[in-house]
């Protein structure tokens, strides 16, 4: 009761979660994505699943798509996308994200207990070719390379995780970072482009 008195906005969050639930079930069913245990949603996520791709989400999923659901304010609904045929998007247990995007043209593999801060984008593709002629001939055939995010990684708000990156177990990515290269397990990295700063204490 004390928690309710001190944080009354959480009442609306719970109400919104219950309101979202039936429609979220429909969204996942229409996209042939199996439903997991212990999933929680605040607002409606957006699924963009290519029919010839695989989207696999494990138990304990938590997605916040509503601007009211987090003080950092989601600037859009969580988007889960498999962009091209053969794409794989695999998310481990207890994954949490607020108002961000996961977009796989080739492969994004995320381990267990990964937390992603508000409005972060993780994409394994450039979307569009760099060369002008290629861009006009095949505008959606930008370069892509798999992304791997290992267990217990924490990614701060407003980050951009780009193609070909591997984030090692329990590493931490500082807010606002643009990650273009691997980060070793147990390290803190930040900046644009992100660079390793120091090992995480206790790792």
- Span 129-155, pLDDT tens digits: 676 666 666 666 768 899 999 999 999
Among the options 50, 88, 128, 198, which is catalytic? 128
Question: What was the pLDDT predicted at 138?
Answer: 66
Q: CATH code at 189? A: 2.160.10.10
Asked whether the whole model's pTM tops 0.75, one would answer yes
Which residues constitute the domain of residue 125? 2-199
Q: Residues 149-165: what's their mean pLDDT?
A: 98
Known catalytic membership, residue 128? yes
pLDDT tens, residue by residue, 25-58? 999 999 999 999 999 999 999 999 999 999 999 9
Distance CA 87, CA 60 (A): 23
Q: How many domains does the chain have?
A: 1
Output 21 or 177, whichever has higher pLDDT. 177
Give ∠ CA 106-111-116 in degrees, rounded to 5. Answer: 90
Which is it for strands 166-167 and 147-149: parallel, antiparallel or unpaired? parallel
């Amino acid at each position: 009761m004390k928690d309710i008195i001190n944080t009354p906005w959480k009442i609306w969050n719970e109400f919104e979660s219950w309101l979202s639930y039936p429609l979220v079930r429909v969204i996942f069913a229409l996209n042939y994505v199996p439903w997991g245990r212990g999933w929680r949603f605040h607002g409606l996520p957006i699924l963009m699943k290519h029919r010839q791709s695989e989207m696999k989400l494990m138990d304990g999923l938590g997605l916040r798509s509503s601007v009211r659901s987090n003080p950092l304010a989601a600037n859009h609904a969580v988007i889960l996308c498999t962009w091209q045929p053969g794409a794989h998007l695999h998310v481990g247990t207890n994954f949490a994200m607020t108002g961000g995007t996961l977009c796989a043209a080739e492969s994004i593999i995320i381990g267990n207990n990964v937390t992603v801060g508000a409005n972060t984008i993780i994409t394994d593709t450039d979307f569009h070719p760099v060369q002008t002629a290629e861009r006009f001939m095949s505008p959606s055939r930008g370069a892509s390379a798999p992304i791997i995010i290992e267990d217990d990684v924490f990614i701060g708000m407003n980050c951009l995780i780009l193609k070909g990156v591997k984030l090692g177990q329990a590493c931490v990515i500082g807010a606002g970072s643009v990650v273009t290269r691997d980060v070793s397990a147990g390290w803190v990295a930040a900046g644009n482009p992100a660079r390793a700063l120091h090992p995480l204490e206790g790792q």
